[in-house]
Structure 1
Amino acid sequence: MIIVTGATGRLGRQVVESLLRRVPAGRIGVSVREPQQAQAFADRGVRVRRGSFTDAASLAYAFEGASQALIVSVDKMGEECVKQHRVAIEAAVAAGARRILYTSQMGADATSHFQACRDHAATDESLRACGVPFTSLRNGFYAMSAVHFLGRAAESGQVVLPVDGPVAWTAHADLADATAALLVDEGRFDGPTPPLTGGQALTFDDIADIATGVTGRAVRRIVASDDEFRQQLTGRGVPTESADQLLGIFTASRAGEFATVDPTLATLLGREPITLEAMLREQLSQD
């Protein structure tokens, strides 16, 4: 049985949907903190069990019978994040999984300027030490983050952010399909994958131009200093530590950590990845 954690989140839910197009529902199990939120999957024949990365006993039950386990990284940073991933890895090993897949990120490195990438590197060390074959999915930076950073730029006519560098923004839907393909085609990659990225590396200057074309309204890119950006965030109630972590995205992009464009994702999909422009058009149609 293929076990997917975080199956009610943006990525995990789409991975399960993609798996359902490829394998019988009875071969899929999900581990979620709130099983009632996955009732739609249960109704379709997916095994739904409660599992929390902070409760090893719950994971033993949720991972029971696992042939493979997909560990979707938690939405946290720092020591607690790495600890929770380690608990999930140990649970997958104890359940007898013959392969563990983990949603890492391009740029994962102990020396990264971005805390999340340092956390992914630490989790990779836990995977290497676990004694079970693993695949670390070097996912491109989520394109939805670019959409969030744009905010209401179409209305204000400007996007105010620190100096950045090119980023290979990548759609959740594409990463979900690639993950499902790798779960079905077990063992295609041992260890870290190549970067799984969209087809372009874009700066926010580029994105402002794209937003202008999509909305038909001029969107100007305005550079804020790092301190100004931090103050913007803390002024809206964001904790200082979280503001510094978000700023790390821009520091890392300036260092070129997210600039690589790789064809592996397109190969796995059998098509070109979704563009950021297409995502912006879709988002605009929903607003």
Structure 2
Amino acid sequence: MIAITGATGQLGRQVIDTLLKSVAAKDIVAAVRSPEKAADLAARGLQVRQADYAQPATLSGAFAGVEKLLLISSSEVGQREAQHQAVIDAARRAGVKLIAYTSLLHADRSPLGLGVEHRATEAALQASGIPFVILRNGWYSENYAASIAPAIAHGVFAGAAGEGRIASAARQDYAEAAAAVLVKEDQAGKIYELAGDSAYTLTEFAAQIAASSGKSVSYQNLSEADFTALLKGAGLPDGLAAMLADSDVGASQQGLFDDSHTLSTLIGRPTTPWQQTVEATIKHS
């Protein structure tokens, strides 16, 4: 039996959709904070169990009988280390035989602030005694695509990544990688550095927005402080604005670049071109 935490999140749902192509629904546990939000998964035959990272008492029962567990990293930056430790502890008590964890690209040396909690979780897995496999995910192309509409509206795509190259891939690519690892055998101890086949600078990303939309859009590089302020002014919470600005600065230091093609090798096809994500976002906006 395979359990997916964060199963109602965007990545979790895509992992489940991919798994269902080769795994019976009854053998998949959707571990979710709010079971009522997973009614559609239950209707498809999955086992839906409550598993709230912030409520450890819910976790042990959620993993009963589970052989493999996909620990999708918590969305609550700043609370991840404790939350992930609670999941790992519960998995050990439940006798889980393999944990796959969605970490960060080159987490061991990443300049991104996000790397701190991922490094802590990787260390916790190492200390747990449970066999594990690490999926070090690069950036989702959708992360930058979320800013396409305002960029077209204002004629400017702002960031703080300088000329750093970003090898992003579509969320679906990472979902397929997670599903592949969960159905393969002999994965314990492996670390996958996952990123897109092609890379771009944000100058090139802005140029693609312009080409695909027919509008004038250029890249404006800002300092970390100015980009943080811009994001806050756009309504983002302080913590999220600071994290995104820090991540851009990390990208300027090549923290989101990798050219190993490990992701496309794992999923058996080229990664989704970032240009395709840009075009699809504009088409559906």
Report the TM range for the smaller structure's normalisation: over 0.9
Q: RMSD of the TM alignment (CA)?
A: 1.6
Deviation (angstroms), 1:236: 4.0
What is the CA–CA distance in structure 1 between the aligned matches of 2:126 and 2:149, rounded to whole Å?
A: 39
Cα distance, 1:180–1:239 mapped onto 2, change above 3 Å: closer
What is the CA–CA distance in structure 2 between the aligned matches of 1:250 and 1:98, rounded to whole Å?
A: 37
Deviation (angstroms), 1:242: 3.9
Cα distance, 1:151–1:96 mapped onto 2, change above 3 Å: same
Q: Kindly report which structure 2 residues correspond to 1:1-287, keeping only aligned pairs within 5 A, or say none.
A: 1-78=1-78, 80-109=79-108, 112-164=110-162, 165-188=164-187, 190-193=189-192, 195-287=193-285
Deviation (angstroms), 1:18: 0.5
What is the CA–CA distance in structure 2 between the aligned matches of 1:174 and 1:242, rounded to whole Å?
A: 24
Structure 2, unmatched stretches of 5+, are: none
Deviation (angstroms), 1:75: 0.8
Cα distance, 1:216–1:238 mapped onto 2, change above 3 Å: closer
Query: Once the two structures are superposed, what CA deviation does each residue of 1:90-123 show, in whole Å capped at 9, x if it has no partner?
Result: 11111111100011110313x6432211111110
Deviation (angstroms), 1:88: 0.5
Deviation (angstroms), 1:244: 2.8
The number of equivalent residue pairs is 284
What is the CA–CA distance in structure 2 between the aligned matches of 1:219 and 1:237, rounded to whole Å?
A: 22
What is the CA–CA distance in structure 2 between the aligned matches of 1:186 and 1:261, rounded to whole Å?
A: 26
CA contact (8 A) 1:163 1:225 kept: no
Cα distance, 1:166–1:4 mapped onto 2, change above 3 Å: same
CA contact (8 A) 2:206 2:219 kept: yes
CA contact (8 A) 2:52 2:59 kept: yes
What is the CA–CA distance in structure 2 between the aligned matches of 1:239 and 1:278, rounded to whole Å?
A: 29
Cα distance, 1:163–1:97 mapped onto 2, change above 3 Å: closer
Deviation (angstroms), 1:281: 1.7
Tell me, what secondary structure is at the counterpart of 1:23? coil
What is the CA–CA distance in structure 2 between the aligned matches of 1:28 and 1:280, rounded to whole Å?
A: 33
Cα distance, 1:212–1:234 mapped onto 2, change above 3 Å: closer
Deviation (angstroms), 1:138: 0.8
Deviation (angstroms), 1:159: 1.0
CA contact (8 A) 1:133 1:191 kept: no
Query: Once the two structures are superposed, what CA deviation does each residue of 1:222-264 show, in whole Å capped at 9, x if it has no partner?
Result: 2222222122233345454443322211221111111112222
Amino acid at match of 2:217: V
What is the CA–CA distance in structure 1 between the aligned matches of 2:41 and 2:275, rounded to whole Å?
A: 31
Cα distance, 1:82–1:166 mapped onto 2, change above 3 Å: same
CA contact (8 A) 2:139 2:256 kept: yes
Deviation (angstroms), 1:221: 1.1
Deviation (angstroms), 1:188: 3.0
Cα distance, 1:224–1:137 mapped onto 2, change above 3 Å: same
Runs of 4+ in 1 over 6 A off after TM superposition: none
Amino acid at match of 2:88: I
What is the CA–CA distance in structure 1 between the aligned matches of 2:195 and 2:110, rounded to whole Å?
A: 18
What is the CA–CA distance in structure 2 between the aligned matches of 1:4 and 1:153, rounded to whole Å?
A: 35
Question: Sequence identity of aligned pairs in percent?
Answer: 33
CA contact (8 A) 1:7 1:30 kept: yes
Tell me, what secondary structure is at the counterpart of 1:152? helix
Cα distance, 1:191–1:130 mapped onto 2, change above 3 Å: farther
CA contact (8 A) 2:161 2:250 kept: no
231-240 vs 219-228, greater mean Cα deviation: 231-240
Normalised by the size of structure 2, how large is the TM-score?
Answer: 0.94
CA contact (8 A) 1:71 1:100 kept: yes
